[in-house]
A and B are shown apart, each in its own frame.
Chain A
Amino acid sequence: MLRIDALKVDPLPPLSFSVANGECMAIEGPSGSGKTRLLRAIADLHPAAGHVFLNGAERHEIPAPEWRKRVRYASSEPAWWTATARQAFDLSEKTAQSKLDRLLTAVALTPKSLDAPLSELSTGERQRLALARALIDEPSVLLLDEPASGLDPQTAALVEELIRFQLLAGRSVVFASHDQAQINRLADARLQLAKPLPVRGGQRA
């Protein structure tokens, strides 16, 4: 279970909520309301005061890299540091390749997409590869930022199906979305962030 206790993400008020295993929470709010920042703070990628517990263990009791293996943030604009997707996957474990094959099938990709230059793939293909990258090592909590942005309705439905499968496997999911229909289909609970963040120096930190 993921439990957030008085997490202070500037300039939102301190937030407290919990997401049970197999539960899906949607974070709603207009652009600039702090959805991304909240997700990043839970993954401990953005400094924030307050506590975040996973199954009773506070994030600071766990080394940060280990925390992020269990509490996984997936950006709405996934970045790649390699020439092909395959190089970004750690396939050293025996079962990794078969897990990857299953994930690719689930999002309607062929193994060919792993070895194609990433620059030649479509935005949607890269988005789905990034989802596979986020899921392959089976984190306990998924923090998905606009998980179906840039996808056509059919592929978006596949991604939603994959998210439901993660919930059935007992993982907690927190996702940020603008899409009311998608929120209605997936979410068990909602968190509404109202006010847009003030824009400082022309750029949101």
Chain B
Amino acid sequence: MTTYVPLAYSDLIVAAALVAINGAISFVYGLKLEKTLAIASLRMIVQLAAVALILKFIFAQTSPLWTVLFASVMAVAAGAEIIMRQEHRFAGWRAMLLSSSPAFLAGLLTTFIALAVIQPQPWHAPRILLPLLGMLVGNSLSGVALVLDSMTSAAIRERAQIEARLALGATRFVAFEDILRRSLRTGLMPILNAMAAAGVVSLPGMMTGQILAGIDPVEAAKYQVLIMFLIAGATSVAVLAGALASVWLLTDERHRLRLDRLNAHADARRS
């Protein structure tokens, strides 16, 4: 059994040298990415260092209130990230409600399922709960961003079709049924592809990390299977909730299409 190999800071400098190669390529080909690259690298170091220190602090606390606080920050950050990726955003409270709730609630739900499986002592041990929650929310977030973008873009593009169905007496969910189906597929495709490719095309990051840290590959694989199912579960719930919530917000209680609630943002970050 191999043991955990601690990393020295000098090891990280060797890895950082690889980024310098990126910078050189950017310089030679005039890609003008040097500055972006430098900022992204620094941001990553600062963010991970900060989160490590915060987690170290929270792990040392006994009060679950710190865990709740950290989870709340996560929810807001997830919402902001999803909003950033939308070309057509809802105005005001609707934007935040729609973007943060599905991913966070689905992440929370699956985290509790995971806790029931892993049974840490105490059950709310932040060392187990927070990384799980972060990973599940983070992964559902991509699905939610995709499904919301697909729903709002389709509603704008197919406005005439939706209104034709509403005019004939369809309810808002019937008028949106085709768009909902297509958007759900769009939102779920990445996680299905990721499950199918796991281990063949790429060794998942968590499993790689565990193996590098000295865990038996079979044990690491068992954890990875658990994690993949949790991510798939969280993503499915989040994508469905996001799609249904979009129908609810794109229409009103009189089953009218309300595109006036959307603002267009041409600067949306695509991922």
Which positions in A face B, CB cutoff 8 Å? Answer: 43-47, 60, 64-66, 68-69, 72-75, 77-81, 133-134, 137, 205
In contact, B169 and A69 (Cβ under 8 angstroms)? yes
Assuming the contacts A47-B252, A64-B255, A205-B260, asked whether A73 and B158 have C-beta atoms less than 8 A apart, the reply is no
> Which residue of A65, A75, A77, A81 is within 8 Å of B158 (Cβ)?
A81
Q: Collect the chain A residues with CB atoms within 8 Å of residue B166's CB.
A: 45, 65, 68
Q: Give the chain B neighbours of A137 by CB distance below 8 A.
A: 168-169
Partner of B167, one of A47, A75, A77, A205: A75
Ordered by A's residue number, 28 sampled pairs between the chains whose C-beta atoms are within 8 Å are A43-B167, A44-B256, A45-B163, A45-B256, A45-B257, A46-B256, A47-B252, A47-B254, A47-B256, A64-B255, A65-B166, A65-B255, A68-B168, A69-B168, A73-B167, A74-B167, A75-B160, A75-B163, A75-B164, A75-B167, A79-B160, A80-B161, A80-B164, A81-B162, A81-B165, A81-B178, A133-B168, A205-B260
Question: Besides the contacts A65-B166, A81-B164, A137-B169, what 8 more A-B pairs have beta carbons closer than 8 Å?
Answer: A45-B166, A45-B167, A64-B256, A65-B170, A68-B167, A69-B168, A78-B164, A79-B160
Task: Report whether A65 and B164 are in contact in the complex, using a CB–CB cutoff of 8 Å.
Answer: no
Residue of A whose beta carbon sits closest to that of B159: A79
Indicate if B72 sits at the interface (CB-CB under 8 A). no
Instruction: Provide the bound-state CA to CA distance between A98 and B150, in Å.
Output: 40
Contacts of B170 in A (CB 8 A): 65
Known A45-B166, A75-B164; contact A64-B178, beta-carbon cutoff 8 A = no
Task: Among B158, B164, B171, B254, point to the contact of A44 (Cβ < 8 A).
Answer: B254
CB distance from A9 to the nearest CB of B (A): 14
Contact indicator A79/B161 (Cβ below 8 Å): yes
Determine the distance from Cα of A74 to Cα of B169 in the docked complex, in whole angstroms. 12
By the criterion CB–CB under 8 Å, are B160 and A65 in contact? no
A82–chain B nearest beta-carbon distance, Å? 9
B171 to chain A, nearest CB (A): 5
> In the bound complex, how far is the Cα of B7 from the Cα of A116, in angstroms?
69
A80 — which chain B residues lie within 8 A by C-beta? 161, 164
- Name the A residues within 8 Å of B165 (CB-CB): 81
Looking at the assembled complex, report how far the CB atom of A50 sits from the nearest CB atom of chain B, in whole angstroms.
14
* A-binding residues in B (CB < 8 A): 158, 160-171, 178, 252-257, 260
Q: How far is the CA of A106 from the CA of B243 in the complex (A)?
A: 42
Tell me how far the C-beta of A44 lies from the nearest C-beta in chain B, rounded to whole angstroms. 6
Query: Do B168 and A79 touch (CB < 8 A)?
Result: no
Identity of the chain B residue whose Cβ is nearest the Cβ of A70 in the assembled complex: B169
Chain A residues whose C-beta falls within 8 Å of the C-beta of B254 in the assembled complex: 44, 47, 60, 64
B256 near A65 with CB under 8 A, answer: no
Report the Cα distance A77→B164, complex, angstroms: 10
Beta-carbon contact of A81 and B167 below 8 Å: no
A72–B168 Cα gap in the complex (Å)? 7
**Bound complex: CA of A92 vs CA of B38, how far in Å?**
65
CA distance A110 to B256 in the complex (A): 34
Name which of A46, A60, A64, A205 has the most chain B CB atoms within 10 A of its CB: A64
In Å, the complex CA distance between A64 and B171 comes to 8
Give chain A residues whose Cβ lies under 8 Å from the Cβ of B178: 81
Question: A72 to B167, Cβ gap below 8 A?
Answer: yes
Cα–Cα distance between A65 and B257 once the two chains are bound (Å): 13
Complex CA–CA separation, A66 to B168 (angstroms) = 9
Residues of chain B contacted by A45 (CB below 8 angstroms): 163, 166-167, 256-257
A134 x B168 contact (CB < 8 A) = yes
Task: Report the Cα distance A93→B201, complex, angstroms.
Answer: 53
| Residues of B close to A64: CB separation below 8 A | 253-256
- Point out the residues of chain B lying under 8 angstroms from A44, CB to CB: 254, 256
Q: How many angstroms between the C-alpha atoms of A65 and B256 in the bound complex?
A: 10
**Which residues of chain A come closer than 8 Å to B164, judged between CB atoms?**
75, 78-81
| Least CB separation from B160: chain A residue | A79
Report chain B residues within 8 Å CB of A65: 166, 169-171, 255
With a CB–CB cut-off of 8 A, which chain A residues contact B162? 81
A68 partner, pick from B160, B169, B260, beta carbons under 8 A: B169
A66: nearest chain-B partner, CB-CB: B169
